[in-house]
Every structure is written in structure tokens, then in C-alpha cells.
Structure 1
Amino acid sequence: MSAAAARPRLRAVGLVMLAVLVAALVLKACVVRTFVIPSASMEPTLRAGDRVAVSLITDEVRRGDVIVFEDTKGWLPAPPPRSAMMNAVRFLGLAPATGDEHLAKRVVGLPGDTVSHRPGEPWLRVNGVPLSEPYLHADAPAADRAFEVQVPPGRLWVLGDHRTRSVDSRHHRGGPGDGFISLDDVVGPVEARVWPIDRWALVDGDGTGTETERAQ
């Protein structure tokens, strides 16, 4: 093939690549991002290695939502250095973000809620009412310690589904934010597990509250 004949094909390939990059940027900025779950803290809902799709088009958070949020309170160790190429690929949304700058937990307390656990009880209470949590790991209790907190305005109280393997709001009381996370740090709710294929499923907060129990 001559150089003149090859130029239109190369131009077409370049346009396709540009279109893919633009689409990735639009999706990342406006619609959805993907993240890799790094640990067992959300089992059985999410396992280590699962890839999840997080919606960016909602401005509300409901009790029971599994959310991804930015670690602005220092819950995680400092991430390892990454190459400029890998940073660019993740920025464009062409590779899922890892769990070294974000966390995935379930929303248990909304602004104004009182969340508590009484010794000997097999459940948590929200505003004095036992909370149904069908998503909990079968081998883990609802909580491993007694506590009572009132969620401040603009904040959330978040826990893992595997309570004995999750380092969450309970463990960061007394630290930055006193265990609460800011609504401003929320990337969005996890809508689905998208990889591996045999783990594909929608993710919701069934059994955790009503449609009116939400924060905006």
C-alpha cells in the first residue's frame, strides 16, 4: 500500500481514537466511573477485586446506599507512586480507579440521625428503631462494640457489610471528622458490579429504609 493510500486509513484510525477518548472523558465527567474494590470489608456484597460502576448523575444519598467517597480524612495509608501514563489512563476513565484514594462503604446514618448499638443486641438502631440489614456478612455481628453517635449536618456515618473486617466510621472516632464523612466527598452510589462477569449484578440498599430517607 502506498503512503498516499495509507493516509486516509491512518486518519480514520486517529479519528476513532479521538472519539473514544472524548467519550471516555464525557462518561467520566458526567455519567459513570469504575472502581476496583481492594478489600473484603464489603463482603458479601462486594469482594476484593470486584469492579463496580458508580453513578455521577445523582445528587442524593439514601440510607442503605453503597457509596464510593474520596478519602479526605486520612483513613487510608498514603498511596504508592504511579507512573504518569497510568495516571493519565485512569484520569480518562480507561482504567478503573483503585482503592488507594477512595473507599466503598454503606450509608447507615444520614444527617440528623442517631445511630447506636446496645450491648447484647443483634442489630443497630437508627433513631431508636432496630435497623434491618439483610446485606450483612453471615459470620459477622451488626457491631463489635457499643456506641451512640448523632450525625451532624452535611455528614454521613458509614460502615462495611463485613463488620469484623471493615475499618469504618466506628474506628475513626476521635480522628479527623470524628468518624463522619462529608457529603461533599461522595463520588456517587455504586449501581452495579460489572466485573468479573459471573459477579455481575445491580447493587442496592434493599431493606434498609424508605424512599424518603435520603440526604441531598
Structure 2
Amino acid sequence: MAEKIRPVEQMLELSDDEAVSAEHLDSQVQKAQEQLVQLKRQQEQIEKQKRELEELSRRQEELENGRAEMTDKLTRALVVLEREAYSVQNRLEQIRLARESFAQHLELVEAIDPRSWNPSDLHKELSRALSTVDDARTEYGEQRSRLQATGATAGEAPLPDVTSDAYEAHNGRSFSQWFQIGVALTLPLIIFGAIALALFFWMASK
């Protein structure tokens, strides 16, 4: 431990034998300077620790703010994505049902072959075929409305309207209507031809 320095007044009252030598004073001054250097180093160390603590506190505050921010954003994003996922799943289900329905009705419509009909059952076959086409048109319109209600995504091609040119001919008449008109016009000729053919075979048999 450093020697305690006596007050100047006490030193002046000392006798010559007890007076502090010049060497002793130099030693005391040197010790005092060393103590000042040590105190300065301690002060610098304290300042360094203070800066480190302030930086640590700043980073902790940054962590808390960032954590709170991202917790809020991620929570809200999950809610939005849950809604989007439900909407997408609902639309995919509607698309699946529409696809199955369209495939079934397409198979039935393509199976219509007037050339294979029995002339004696023409009215029955025609009514059945028209019913098949009308059912397909009705189902198409209903499924199209459901798909539009679920909302189309960007870049998705819309389904054609039920009353588009693909289903109607000129003057606003549908294919089935024109077909009925054609049958009505040719039916008398068919009946007349059948009667004439029957008379021909009857006369030939005599």
C-alpha cells in the first residue's frame, strides 16, 4: 500500500533530522504519478465497459422491437394465408366437380348419333337427344355460375357464355331448334317415302 503523504504544514514543522530528503520527495511524486496513470487506466476501462453496456442495451432493445414487429406481421400473414388457402381449396373443389360433370355430359352429347336411330322411333330418339343437350346446357350454366362466384385468378381464361355462338346459330336459334325444324320439314317426305315403298312392295308381291 502506498505510503500516506503528510500535510505540507506538518512537514514544515519538522526538524532538520526529520525533514524529508529530496530523494524521498521524488519517490513520492513518482508514486503519485503512477497512481494517476493507474486511475486513468481504470477510468478508461470503466468508460469502455460503459460503452459496451450501452451497445448491449441498444441491441437488446433492437431485438425486442424486431421480435414484436415480426410476431405481429407473421401472425397477420398467417391469417391472410389461411383465408387464401380456404378460398383456393374451395375453388379447386368447384373446378373438380365442374370437370367431372362436363366430362360426363360431353360423353353423353358425343354419343348422340342420328344415323343410328330407328325411323319408327324418330320422335322418341329426337326427344331424348334434345333432353340430353338441354341437360348439358343447364349443367354447364350452373357450374359456370359457381366458378364465377368463387372468383377467377389472374390469367385464367373465362368459360364461354351459355348463349355464345358456339351454342347458337343465326337469327338466335339454337342447334336443337334448327334440328327440330329440319326434322319437321323432312318428316312428311319420310312418311310419303315409306308409304310409297310399302305400296311398291305390295304391288310387286302380286
**TM class by smaller structure:** under 0.3
Q: Could you state the TM-score of these two structures normalised by the residue count of structure 2? A: 0.28
- Computing the radius of gyration over CA atoms, which structure comes out larger, 1 or 2? 2
Tell me which of the two structures has the higher relative contact order, counting C-alpha pairs closer than 8 angstroms and 6 or more residues apart.
1
Which structure features the higher share of strand residues? 1
Q: Could you state the TM-score of these two structures normalised by the residue count of structure 1? A: 0.27
Which structure features the higher share of helix residues? 2
